[in-house]
Chains A and B, each alone.
Chain A
Amino acid sequence: MISQFFILSSKGDPLIYKDFRGDSGGRDVAELFYRKLTGLPGDESPVVMHHDDRHFIHIRHSGLYLVATTSENISPFSLLELLSRLATLLGDYCGSLSEGTISRNVALVYELLDEVLDYGYVQTTSMEMLRNFIQTEAVVSKPFSLFDLSSVGLFGAETQQSKVAPSTAASRPVLASRSDQSQKNEVFLDVVERLSVLIASNGSLLKVDVQGEIRLKSFLPSGSGEKSQGGAWDRQLLSAVYGGIWQPFLTFFPLTEMRIGLTEEFCVGKSELRGYGPGIRVDEVSFHSSVLLEEFESHRILRLQPPQGELTVMRYQLSDDLPSPLPFRLFPSVQWDRGSGRLQVYLKLRCDLPPKSQALNVRLHLPLPRGVVSLSQELSGPEQKAELGEGALRWDLPRVQGGSQLSGLFQMDVPGLPGPPGQGHSTTAPLGLGPASLSFELPRHTCSGLQVRFLRLAFRPCGSTSPHKWVRHLSHSDAYVIRI
């Protein structure tokens, strides 16, 4: 049970404040919270804080603080989940969650909070229920239309503009305004994987962990029991597109539900065997409770009635046993001379993706020993960049093609570099150097190999627009650490 809920901007300005029970404090709690947050000693966690008889629990989401206060010893898991769900809901209603959208849609946010929580108790968070009660329409800064995009450059994607959507295409209010007749019936499906890897200094793999999610964002008008009709034509457009971009399937089917077909060789657990090849194996899978799984066992098809807004359809985990080679290998060599205090690091980065794929926004972060004063560099490409900051070396590689190999030679002066006694050259890494960590995005690539085979949808046409379906596969690094 929540006493108060408020949203603060990243600078601590209160954007939304709602008191549900009137049992504690006044508006100044928001200020109090921010003061506590900024004045917190280093070893305490900010997630749950306490003042007088009140607990503050907050999450940070897109730079905003979503805070709930309560005076009871309640379940932290439920409350954090509720806050995340609220963030998602607000995002669905306002288009995206940011300081700007919240302050433009204050009335809508309050209306939403009124419906979701009553006297501090959760009523419902389902879009289906809420849409009946929410009257206010979202204010969008610029009305979004997919067809305006012809002029927009997308990650430099040189492709047919009519067939791709940018990664921001899903950032708009889920409920189309009533005045806007040209509403889009669109569904976005994301397969997102987070990769965490630890590689030992001798190159052996210590840990691989993949956390995957299939996320659905639906803009389809759903609900009521009208008869479904639809053209029985099925046209799939385009199978290969460029990075980070929605990939459309155009389909009409006279069904009232969505069917998501996953790769047939998808196996769960260590023992299951499917297909002839090595298969795509994950350790654990969990589904959203609304997903129907009758066809999952036989054909790996998920069925669901997509509610409006965002929904995590499936989560899966995979560890230790990756079917494809790791996307990156780093071959470091270190030379340092204690006498002159010169440290030389040569890094060779090999990208093991298939030649047609590429990695974007690659950044290597290498902590250095204290007291590094100067850096001279020789990089293998002109678009790369390296610099020192916060006691670490940062090497930015905007784009790395699969199969390519890049290198950088860095020379630094470290006057008081500590090390074993004795002068002269050494090739062992000094303490304080490394481990290197990489961050990157891999568009159109899933580390587990899981793909969405098809996305079919029965759509009841209202108006003349056809449903657009966009599928995107994406992997990104969570922690990709290489010891040196």
Chain B
Amino acid sequence: MVAAPPAEGAARLRPAERRGRAPGGRRPGGARRSALPRGGGGGGGARLGAVGPEEAGLPQGAGRGLSGRVAARRRSDGGPGREGAAPWGGEAGSGAEGLGVAGAVSGRSEPACGPQEGTAGAGAGLAGPWSLGCGPGEAEAGPTSRLGALRRPTFASPRFPRQGWEEPAGTAPGRETMPYLGSEDVVKELKKALCNPHVQADRLRYRNVIQRVIRMPKLDQWGQAEVLNFLLRYQPRSEEELFDILNLLDSFLKSSSPGVVMGATKLFLILAKKFPHVQTDVLVQVKGPLLAACSSESRELCFAALCHVRQILHSLPGHFSSHYKKFFCSYSEPHYIKLQKVEVLCELVNDENVQQVLEELRGYCTDVSADFAQAAIFAIGGIARTYTDQCVQILTELLGLRQEHITTVVVQTFRDLVWLCPQCTEAVCQALPGCEENIQDSEGKQALIWLLGVHGERIPNAPYVLEDFVENVKSETFPAVKMELLTALLRLFLCRPAECQDMLGRLLHYCIEEEKDMAVRDRGLFYYRLLLAGIDEVKRILCSPKSDPSLGLLEDQAERPVNSWASDFNTLVPVYGKARWAAISKYQGAEHRGPELPNTASFASSGPLIPEEHKETVQEPDSGALMLVPNCQLTAEYFEKTWFSLKVAHQQVFPWKGAVHPDTLQMALQVVNIQTIAMSRAGAHPWKAYLSAQDDTGCLFLTELLLEPENSEMQISVKQNEPRTETLNGFISVLETVLGTIGDIKS
């Protein structure tokens, strides 16, 4: 079929093919010996015949030949185990170039096989493990209708069976025939090739090098990890190519080496940054290996895996919920693993497992190690924000133990809880009496005094407990406790003046006359003068309304998008923890990770590899003059600050029916590069969300969505840090489109 001489690459591969392994036991006969599609291998075979002739006239460059050759081989790798999945994922015929050549090559080397394969594969499904997941119509719409991807209609997962052994690496004869190249030499050679500007400039050559990198089967695990790390630098030029790469790399996700699996996961997450459903699917697939690593014999590996589990849980809460038992601690484990496990347990709790998890955590609270016991109590406090009643009950029981290290932490937990979940105040107030005997440390005392001051009117003996503290104030060593005592007593004085007046006077006298700590003295003087101004003034200042509790949303930073940490996956960042890493990199100063190529540090310096002319194919056409920058990450604090410093630039009401599905909305917004800073849980009343986006000129758009279900409308308030009407209108129209689409999907 093809007149052109065999390409260099193909020629190189062929002898190797001949000295391939002895025929496998179950192969029917010598006629199908070469690396050709075997039965079942599917749809590709069917198309070979059809597309081949049309493409036959194409000039066949060296690279093309190789790609075709390898495409044929890869198809043969599929084998029966693949459930008829052709590795090429794109349904649209745009992959025809590669396919055509593949058909040509295979046709030439074994014409008799063509028709047979065609009939065999005709009915086979086209979808590979990774595919775009939209019908042909949507496929051509591609990036412009970016929301299309959200509909997840056909992104089927006719995935390989979960058992790794169905499709073992290296069993297919095709792979065996690759010439053996020492792993590190290959990597070096390819690195050289990829860094070569001539290769970069030539699209085909570049692509072929990438394909060769991917198809190196004889690499050991170190080589594979290196290659995966290296491929992070490559940005596919089209979606077909992207899914092509994903399909080729799919086997790495099943490797027995955790390093390779995690490397592949990271690559998948980064490549598929515009396809949240693919990312989710990858994370589902990596669940098994991660859980295996979490229960690995090597403590260190276990720790690293736990850190990554936590990272994933930030974005996909509930991802590991059904496996919560795997995160129960055993007494022989080292401290740092137990702490991580407790954190994980705290994050994956849901309605079904909350009972079991709490029971387990309660067991830890009486652990011999005080640190661990306290961590477990704090964890229960964290869960209490959602499941208040059960947790408060457990915490109250713990107070019965009358042990210092437990009581102090429980009281601190109560303090935080009362602030965040005011509905549990009553229960906490009932549990408090008697605690003061078992608290010796500063933190615990502060918490107790604060609780007594703020909710003193509900605790009958509050003035007497505080009186004890006032009596002993001279021997009190912590200034912070004295400050807290001053404030608390003043507050209690406002609601129970008769019982407190005398000791407030004594305390103020002591603080002003005898106290040596300046801060405490000044605070005492301040309150004294405040009292001189009259009791109404004191009330106005001390009991003025507290901050808006709904802003607490900003605190828990729910559900960060996968893309926000994908570049940190499989690095030291999750292992250190985000906060510590920030401190470290600030210390190191130099490290700058660009937003577009979020790779490891080694690559950051080498800059983007993609030649300029391909850049515009990567970027997407955008609506009007507005161009929102991806990966604009604001911290919640910065957002809050900016939000309060700006005026509302635009406000409008959008009709809305029913509840919101936060994850759908978040995903949709992310597709158009609007980041979610915080969002209420599904079904909350009123439902709120805070969004941020940045355009290419650096202008920030901060948005609040407020849904009040009874009005069946969504109120949108947008703030902008540079007043420019045209970009604002552009932004609002983008936002409206997203909300409109989401609303349509739901109704």
Contact = CB atoms under 8 A, between A and B. Distances in A.
Instruction: State yes or no: do A and B come from one complex.
Output: yes
B300 interface: yes
Interface in A444-484: 478-479, 481, 483
B570 A365 contact: no
A294 B366 contact: no
A208 to B, nearest CB: 9
| Residue of A80, A196, A293 with most chain B CB atoms under a 10 A cut-off | A80
B304 interface: yes
B77 to A, nearest CB: 14
Given A47-B575, A80-B301, A289-B169, A211 B256 contact: no
B637 to A, nearest CB: 23
A50 B576 contact: yes
B164 interface: yes
A337 B263 CA distance: 58
B419 interface: no
A198 B170 CA distance: 39
B163 A198 contact: no
B600 interface: yes
A50 B361 CA distance: 31
Contact of B162 (A58, A206, A284, A390): A284
A385 to B, nearest CB: 20
Contacts of B164: 284-287
B285 interface: no
A286 B298 contact: no
Interface stretch (B4-12, B40-48, B394-402, B624-632): B394-402
B330 A431 contact: no
B256 A286 contact: yes
Interface in B322-379: 325-326, 328, 330-333, 335-337, 339-340, 356, 363, 366-368, 371, 375
A60 interface: yes
B259 A124 contact: no
B334 to A, nearest CB: 8
Interface string A34-68: 00000000111111101001010111100000000
Contact of A73 (B170, B258, B572): B572
Interface string A281-319: 000111111111111110000000000000010010100
Given A72-B601, A81-B301, A286 B254 contact: yes
A126 B223 CA distance: 12
B563 interface: no
A435 B364 CA distance: 9
Contacts of A82: 222, 259
A323 interface: no
A125 B222 contact: yes
B295 A211 contact: yes
Given A76-B570, A478-B330, A124 B184 contact: yes
B297 interface: yes
Interface in A408-443: 418-420, 431-432, 434-435, 437, 439
Nearest to B372: A42
Given A284-B164, A285-B165, A80 B300 contact: yes
B481 interface: no
Contact of A121 (B184, B254, B375): B184
B161 interface: yes
A75 B366 contact: no
Given A76-B571, A294-B26, A209 B295 contact: yes
A74 B303 contact: no
Interface in A101-146: 121-126
Contacts of B335: 42
A332 to B, nearest CB: 15
A80 B298 contact: yes
A467 B171 CA distance: 28
Contacts of B340: 45
Nearest to A50: B584
A282 to B, nearest CB: 9
A293 B165 contact: yes
A306 to B, nearest CB: 16
A418 B300 contact: no
22 contacts: A45-B336, A45-B339, A47-B304, A59-B298, A73-B573, A75-B571, A77-B258, A79-B259, A122-B184, A124-B220, A284-B164, A293-B171, A294-B24, A296-B165, A315-B256, A367-B331, A367-B366, A367-B368, A431-B366, A431-B398, A431-B401, A439-B332
Given A59-B299, A207-B328, 5 more contacts: A45-B303, A45-B340, A77-B262, A81-B259, A418-B401
Interface of B: 24-26, 161-165, 168-171, 183-184, 220-222, 225, 229, 254-259, 261-263, 288, 292-293, 295-301, 303-305, 325-326, 328, 330-333, 335-337, 339-340, 356, 363, 366-368, 371, 375, 397-398, 400-403, 570-573, 575-576, 580, 584, 588, 591, 600-602
Interface of A: 1, 42-48, 50, 53, 55, 57-60, 72-84, 121-126, 194, 196, 198, 206-207, 209, 211, 268-269, 284-297, 312, 315, 317, 365, 367, 369-370, 390-392, 418-420, 431-432, 434-435, 437, 439, 478-479, 481, 483
Q: Which 8 A-B pairs have the closest CB atoms?
A: A479-B330, A78-B259, A45-B336, A122-B222, A207-B325, A77-B259, A432-B366, A76-B304
